[in-house]
Amino acid sequence: MSPYSQFFGVYPWRKKTSQKIIALTFDDGPNEPYSSQIVDFLNQKGIKATFFQVGECIKRHPEVTKKMIRSGHVIGNHSLSHKFHKYFVDPSFKKEISQNQHLIETYTGLKPALFRSPWLWRQPLLLGSLKQQQLYPISGQFAHPLEVLQIDATKIAHAAIKKAKPGSIIIFHDGYDGRGANRSQTVEAVKIFVEQLSKSGYQFVTVDQLLGIEAYQP
């Protein structure tokens, strides 16, 4: 579950580069009204992000996912249900992956090529399923270990800023474990994070742009 471990295979958490570019990513949504608040802010700034989404959440807010795509953001697969016990019921995680692939394609017409496993869990059977389904596994650095508990926005933002380096993939949460939850501190933290790094000369890109891979399958 380490963001950095490559023990079982390639699971990129950053790109080695001297360019001041960062991939801003979000997990566990869509979750309203917070996902839309984040998207509206990013759109105002002309920033594109990558949203790793849970299928059950997309069912509740399909219009939000469609809005993200229309705005140029990228949608990645983050499992159908985001339930930890599914790793033990089906160690390959094949159903959780494939069912969400089908759901995203049904709602958007696009089939993701990017996957982030819930809690960054990985082992050989899961990575084998991703290879079979032609998905790139994507890791990253959590903005703050307690962000999901919605501690003060300033603390979340400052921790994320300290981690930000050229080529970083930073993880925020616009949802919570596939359920609806208050993410107001995350919304404010993202604003602080973006404003500060923009002043420092950073530019924001999507994960596929950062790593030089495709966002969606043919």
Over the stretch 62-107, which tens digit does the pLDDT of each residue have?
Answer: 999 999 999 999 999 999 999 989 999 999 999 999 999 999 999 9
Percent of the chain exceeding pLDDT 70 equals 100
Query: Residue 10, Cβ neighbours under 10 Å: how many?
Result: 9
| Distance (Å, whole) CA 158 – CA 155 | 5
What mean pLDDT, rounded, does the chain reach? Answer: 96
Query: Residue 18, Cβ neighbours under 10 Å: how many?
Result: 7
Q: Which residue has the tokens 């949504």?
A: 29
Q: What are phi and psi of 135, to 5 degrees?
A: -115, 140
**Domain map of the chain by residue range?**
21-217
Structure tokens at 129: 């399923």
> Could you write out the DSSP letters of every residue in 33-75?
THHHHHHHHHHHHT---EEEE-HHHHHH-HHHHHHHHHTT-EE
Structure tokens at 206: 């999507």
Assign 10 a pLDDT band (cuts: 50, 70, 90): confident
Structure tokens at 39: 């998207």
Assign 1 a pLDDT band (cuts: 50, 70, 90): low
Q: Nearest Cα to 144, choosing from 205, 190, 78, 201?
A: 190
Burial classification of residue 43, based on how many CB atoms lie within 10 Å of its CB (0-12 exposed, 13-18 middle, 19 or more buried): middle
Q: Quick one: pLDDT at residue 149?
A: 94
Q: Quick one: pLDDT at residue 142?
A: 97
Q: Quick one: pLDDT at residue 179?
A: 84
The CATH number of 21-217 is which of 3.40.30.10, 1.20.1530.20, 3.20.20.370, 3.30.70.20? 3.20.20.370
**Beta strand pairing status for 216-217 and 74-77?**
unpaired
